[in-house]
Amino acid sequence: MEYLLVQDVALSSAPSYAAMTKLQQWPQLPECTEQSLISQLQTTLDIQQQLNIVSMAVGKVLPLSAMSLKTAVGDFSAIGSCSGEFEHRSVLVLNQQCLAELVYHSDYAFTPMAQRELLLLESEWVFALRNALVVSRLQQMALKDTLTGLGNRRFFDDSFEKAVMLAKRHNEHCALILLDLDNFKQVNDSNGHSAGDEVLLAVADCLRDTLRATDSLFRFGGDEFAVVLSGQDTDNAELVARRLVKVINQHYLCQQYAVSASVGLAVFNTDQCSKQLFSAADSALYAAKEAGKNTVRVA
Ligand SMILES: Nc1nc2c(ncn2[C@@H]2O[C@H](COP(=O)(O)OP(=O)(O)OP(=O)(O)O)[C@@H](O)[C@H]2O)c(=O)[nH]1
């Protein structure tokens, strides 16, 4: 299913609320309920929060056990969702554009009356949801590397600063891995830029698959990647770093083009600020290159 993308949005061309919903044909909720849902939705541009708000409103008109939303910027589940025997699906459309698909679950059948009430609540949500989707899409575009879909340098700067501050506050470990591919330039030079892009995509996949969901992975630009590991001491972080170098060595494209990876690792100590930790990892990366590449050095 094709969902709304930010470039599809023409904010000024949205139809009027009444024309879009044909509300007069539908059973009306008491005015205060209707007003409060719309005004609650206007308080946030966060899709998850909007879904939670709508699920609470739906819960007032029928017994709901789960509610989830599929969009172009990701899938969301209402807080407290659990399985239910009956399912009802709705596609949310605004201005002839598909915003999202909503999936409801309940232990009770979705009667035609219940479905009409859901439709009414959905019609109150579409404008706020459209705005939240646009914001989310813009955030993704500002913070993601377009080739690999990983966080970009700007996202790294922000996340790294926060990770170091948290580590300091909770007196925990925080490790920074800087990874730079070896001999990558020759892939571009001998096989063209698209072959280079393929290698970068393969490396991004290797790194993503090897790391845990709680680790943060970024592409800095060029052939440089960064990983922030929260709560890992030097020994564990070094194990992770060596594993990353190994999976890159084992990938058939990297073998084909003789590409490997050098890594610099630094683990936060409480006297350091984020700049000092970064600089320590950068020096370690330089040492790994100087040591002949395809290796890990710890600051
Ligand atoms: N295909 C492709 N190449 C890129 C991209 N961004 C940067 N590059 C190229 O990546 C190369 C990075 O240069 P270097 O790090 O010096 O290359 P290297 O051969 O790995 O050098 P060593 O680290 O010393 O082994 C340059 O040739 C850039 O043009 C990209 O998005 N796609």
DSSP per-residue codes, 221-273:
ETTEEEEEEET--HHHHHHHHHHHHHHHHHSHHHHHTT-EEEEEEEE--TT--
One domain for residues 288 and 257: yes
Percent of the chain with pLDDT over 70: 88
CA–CA separation, 261 and 296 (whole Å): 9
Same domain, 223 and 103: no
The finding on whether 264 has its CB within 6 A of some atom of ligand 1 is no
Residues 20 and 41 reside in one and the same domain:
yes
Tell me, using a 6 A CB cutoff, whether residue 259 lines ligand 1: no
Can you list the alpha helix ranges (DSSP code H) found in the chain? Answer: 17-21, 31-41, 47-61, 112-143, 153-170, 185-191, 193-210, 234-250, 252-256, 274-290
**158 lies in the same domain as 279:** yes
The per-residue pLDDT for 139 is 87
Domains: count for the chain = 2
Q: What is the pLDDT of residue 4?
A: 56
Task: Out of 142, 170, 189, pick the residue that ends a domain.
Answer: 142
User: Would you say residue 10 has pLDDT above 50?
Assistant: no
Residue among 179, 181, 223, 294 whose CB has most ligand 1 atoms within 8 A, to mutate: 223
Q: In the block, which residue shows the tokens 């109150």?
A: 124
Expressed in angstroms, the distance from the first to the final Cα of the chain is 48
Q: What is the model's pLDDT at position 91?
A: 97
Tell which of 142, 168, 195 closes a domain: 142
Q: What mean pLDDT is predicted for residues 189-196?
A: 96
Give the pLDDT mean for 81-95: 91
What does R_g of the chain's alpha carbons equal in angstroms? 24
Q: Name the band, by pLDDT with cuts 50, 70 and 90, for residue 193.
A: very high
Is 1 within the bounds of a domain? no
Distance between CA atoms of residues 52 and 120, nearest Å: 17
Answer whether 181 contacts ligand 1 (Cβ < 6 A): yes
Examine residue 185 and state whether it is found in any structural domain, yes or no: yes
Query: Of 78-87, 146-155, 178-187, which gets the smallest average pLDDT?
Result: 78-87
User: 64 is written with which tokens?
Assistant: 């709901």
Among residues 142, 161, 195, the one where a domain terminates is 142
Question: Both tokens of residue 238?
Answer: 């070094």
Q: What is the pLDDT of residue 270?
A: 78
The CA angle 67-73-78, to the nearest 5 degrees, is: 20
Whose C-alpha lies nearest to ligand 1, atom 17? 185
Among the ranges 136-145, 153-162, 250-259, which has the highest mean pLDDT value? 250-259
pLDDT at 22 over 70: no
| pTM of this structure | 0.71
188 lines ligand 1 (CB under 6 A): yes
Quick: pLDDT tens for 224-280: 999 999 888 899 999 999 999 999 999 999 999 999 999 999 998 877 889 999 999
CATH of residue 258's domain is 3.30.70.270
CA 269 – CA 207 distance, rounded (Å): 25
Instruction: Give the closest residue (by CA) to ligand 1 atom 21.
Output: 183
**What ipTM was assigned to the predicted interfaces of this complex?**
0.96
**Predicted local confidence at residue 233, as pLDDT:** 87
Containing 83, the helix (H) or strand (E) segment is none
Note the pLDDT of residue 35: 59
69: containing domain:
6-142
Domain membership flag for residue 90: yes
Q: Which strand (E) or helix (H) includes residue 166?
A: helix 153-170
> Residue 63: which CATH number?
3.30.450.40
Structure token digits, residue 267: 């683990």
Confidence (pLDDT) at 149? 92
Q: Residue 182: CB within 6 Å of ligand 1?
A: yes
Average pLDDT of the segment spanning 99-118? 94
